[in-house]
Structure 1
Amino acid sequence: MPPASTHEFIPPGTRFHALPSPFPMKRGGALHGARVAYETWGTLDAARGNAVLIVTGLSPDAHAASHASDPEPGWWEPMLGPGKPIDSDRWFVVCVNSLGSCKGSTGPASIDPASGEPYRLSFPELSIEDIADAAAAVVRGLGIERLACVIGNSMGGMTALSLLQRHPGIARAHVNISGSARALPFSIAVRSLQREAIRLDPNWNNGFYDDDSYPESGMRIARKLGVISYRSALEWDGRFGRVRLDEAIPLAGAEDDPFGGLEFQVESYLEGHARRFVRRYDPNCYLYLSRSMDWFDIADHAGGDVSAALARIRIERALAIGANTDILFPVQQQQEIAEGLAAGGAQAQFIGMDSPQGHDAFLVDFARFGPAVRGFLDSLDP
């Protein structure tokens, strides 16, 4: 396996599945020597029928929760583990890191075996369908013919639907959390601005940056735009109001700029959140994954009819849930998923949560989302 580049960030308990070589990409080109990072919890039963797959949003790695190989809390720690909503005492849980990411799976930050250098922008055009096919390869590689359930949140909701569409019979049930069957104009617009912020940073340099010359400003702005869209105006108002800082904080390099300081608590929060992120995610990977969401439309092969495309997916049970305050993946999109899958014969349920946290609610509002997921999984036959 080729060495990782300096912009890959891999949790210590991560395992890897080698993809078939070549691995064809939907929009052209192929990967050679590619891999997908994943982690597991629980025990696969003798019939190999208790497997649950988690496919993630844009930025998470495969470390959804702590386990013996990596005791650090994961990004979905309250949801996954013994006795938790996704109960690893009952289920064998697999979480995959998306193809194209910088968290262990092959992506633009990885070394191209043909050149010995990072792919950067020579990485093939990435689609949600490629991410789904790579996740399916992990499932098959673990000897699992049919998943008990595939759970996808945010971008992972897109990936899960593509997985079900492209690999019929791969799962009996599906939980779609704050996901969608296609990108809507508002979310496309937000992601377009995020990508523009990165690309207009001089240090991006057409993808040829390094640790010393890094597009930090572009990544900061992109992350701030993302965080603003992940939460709701209701939460921003309730959490910060118009509270000012005791003293304005000048931004680096803008000490003499009268507009370059942080005056409000909400500004300080966004700045801190952005700075924690910018050096922990590769900019080129961000660009590729962001664009893959904009391109995704499950109706591409159904004459543009989302409902018809969803109705062609054959599963037994489905749950689609989201937050009523989500502006990035509006709750109507989860309702559309439930109704479309029901038209295809699934016993499908839709729940719109009265959570103030917007799109990020599934990452923080465990009091609402946890019981819904637990109840659905508990109702599945073993």
Structure 2
Amino acid sequence: MSATRFFELPSPFVLRRGGSLAGARLAYETWGELNPAGDNAILILTGLSPSAHAAAGRDDPSPGWWEAMIGVGKAIDTRRFFVICVNSLGSCKGSTGAASPHPDDHLPYRLRFPDICLEDVAQSAQLLVAGLGIRQLKALIGPSMGGMSALAYGVMFPGQAPNMVLISTAPHSLPFATAIRSLQRECIRRDPRWLDGNYASDSWPEDGFRLARKLGMVTYRSAQEWRGRFGRKRVSQPSTQAFGREFEVEAYLDAHADRFVGSFDPNCYLYLSRAMDWFDLADHGGAVDIALAKMQVRRALVIGVPSDILFPIEQQREIAEGLRSAGGVVDFYALPSIQGHDSFLVDFERFAPPVADFLGCL
């Protein structure tokens, strides 16, 4: 049984960079109960690849991607809060994206899908929240790309998210992050089976997508973690191919690529990856600090880790200082995790307590 629900967006749904979508929808899941006043809702906006299934629930008991954070007695306590997690517009996990059927011929959009940006992700999420009868969120939570989408939400709908939790995110991509994502997109596009986005459902550009995922994994973790975790360990059965797999760290990358390929549509990956590079909070006022001041945030928790090379801790510090300068009460944590950008997905001993403390004070 699936706990996923669907919200129909207005048709046409007009996009920020031009174009529109007809019959578009968002996939989402909820936990807990909305109180009679409708003022206990927490919205979670996800990173690039997660689905709306962030945690187990009554209708779907399988573990979610943030299982350790959401539930009874956990950091995001479902006894107190009504928790909503949205699968981003443009994804392939239930929301309308490049893999969805085009309304004209019911074949996949592929590259007919219009340009999408994170402001579109934010706007669609806000329409869902309003559609659920919620006028103001108790808190808005966004890790990674979800934090960028949360910043877009805050500046586009001032005062509707007065309390924010921003995790390992940024007001814009730095050149290093853009360079990595550009290389990932090129890996996909140069696969002969990509066919200008017109690959068949049973013949994906797997080689290019595997390389893109491996390159991503190199940036999601840290050299310090891998040094302690893998060292110079060899695999028990080296590849017989010339220059094939020999070290355990190579096996680790292969395993992640194997799990990811086939679970996420390559064209959707291209669209959302580019949306991250396009996002710049400074577009909303001319400077990051001006945009942060527009958001009317009363309280914020901003968390990052110094070992993150994709979203460096300086970017979280910039957000925290900007919100503080705008009059918000801001808690900022640089957590000593060695798991890099993926820390918020694995190092719950460090990430859960500040989130629980912050939400407990609301």
TM-score over 0.5 for the pair: yes
Instruction: Give the structure 1 partner of residue 327 of structure 2.
Output: 345
1:99 paired to 2:89: yes
Instruction: Give the structure 1 partner of residue 309 of structure 2.
Output: 327
Q: Which amino acid aligns with 1:216?
A: E
Instruction: Give the structure 2 partner of residue 285 of structure 1.
Output: 268
Instruction: Give the structure 2 partner of residue 299 of structure 1.
Output: 282
Deviation readout 1:115-162 (Å, 9 max, x if unpaired): 221100010101000000011011001000000000000000000000
Deviation at 1:220, TM superposition (A): 0.3
Report the Cα distance in structure 1 between the residues aligned to 2:257 and 2:8, rounded to whole angstroms. 33
Question: 1:1-382 maps to which residues of 2 (within 5 A)?
Answer: 12-250=2-240, 255=241, 258-259=242-243, 261-303=244-286, 305-380=287-362
**Tell me, which stretches of 5 or more residues in structure 2 are unaligned?**
none
Deviation at 1:300, TM superposition (A): 1.1
SS class of match (1:78): coil
Report the Cα distance in structure 2 between the residues aligned to 1:49 and 1:247, rounded to whole angstroms. 57
**Tell me, which stretches of 5 or more residues in structure 1 are unaligned?**
1-10
8 Å CA contact 2:155–2:284 kept in 1: the answer is no
**Number of residue equivalences:** 362
Deviation at 1:311, TM superposition (A): 1.9
8 Å CA contact 2:171–2:288 kept in 1: the answer is yes
Q: Normalised by the size of structure 2, how large is the TM-score?
A: 0.98
Deviation at 1:353, TM superposition (A): 0.3
Instruction: Give the structure 2 partner of residue 6 of structure 1.
Output: none
Please identify, of 163-172 and 44-53, the stretch whose mean Cα deviation from structure 2 is larger.
163-172
Report the Cα distance in structure 1 between the residues aligned to 2:168 and 2:202, rounded to whole angstroms. 37
SS class of match (2:171): coil
Q: Which amino acid aligns with 1:131?
A: V
Q: Which amino acid aligns with 1:202?
A: P
8 Å CA contact 1:311–1:342 kept in 2: the answer is no
Report the Cα distance in structure 1 between the residues aligned to 2:113 and 2:178, rounded to whole angstroms. 22
Q: Which amino acid aligns with 1:48?
A: G
Report the Cα distance in structure 2 between the residues aligned to 1:136 and 1:71, rounded to whole angstroms. 27
Report the Cα distance in structure 1 between the residues aligned to 2:289 and 2:239, rounded to whole angstroms. 50
Deviation readout 1:199-247 (Å, 9 max, x if unpaired): 0000000111124322000110000011110001100111101111123
Q: Which amino acid aligns with 1:174?
A: M
SS class of match (1:245): coil
Instruction: Give the structure 2 partner of residue 5 of structure 1.
Output: none
Deviation readout 1:238-272 (Å, 9 max, x if unpaired): 1101111123125xxxx4xx22x100000001001
Q: Normalised by the size of structure 1, how large is the TM-score?
A: 0.93
SS class of match (1:244): coil
Deviation at 1:344, TM superposition (A): 1.6
Runs of 4+ that moved beyond 4 A: none
Deviation at 1:307, TM superposition (A): 1.8
Please identify, of 305-314 and 218-227, the stretch whose mean Cα deviation from structure 2 is larger.
305-314
Deviation at 1:341, TM superposition (A): 1.1
Report the Cα distance in structure 2 between the residues aligned to 1:14 and 1:190, rounded to whole angstroms. 32
SS class of match (2:34): coil
Deviation at 1:109, TM superposition (A): 0.2
8 Å CA contact 2:119–2:153 kept in 1: the answer is yes
Instruction: Give the structure 2 partner of residue 8 of structure 1.
Output: none
Report the Cα distance in structure 1 between the residues aligned to 2:105 and 2:328, rounded to whole angstroms. 47
SS class of match (2:239): strand
Deviation at 1:308, TM superposition (A): 2.0
Report the Cα distance in structure 2 between the residues aligned to 1:54 and 1:324, rounded to whole angstroms. 24
Report the Cα distance in structure 2 between the residues aligned to 1:81 and 1:58, rounded to whole angstroms. 23
Q: Percent of pairs identical after alignment?
A: 59
Q: Which amino acid aligns with 1:312?
A: K
Deviation at 1:171, TM superposition (A): 1.4
Report the Cα distance in structure 2 between the residues aligned to 1:365 and 1:196, rounded to whole angstroms. 31
Report the Cα distance in structure 1 between the residues aligned to 2:326 and 2:96, rounded to whole angstroms. 34
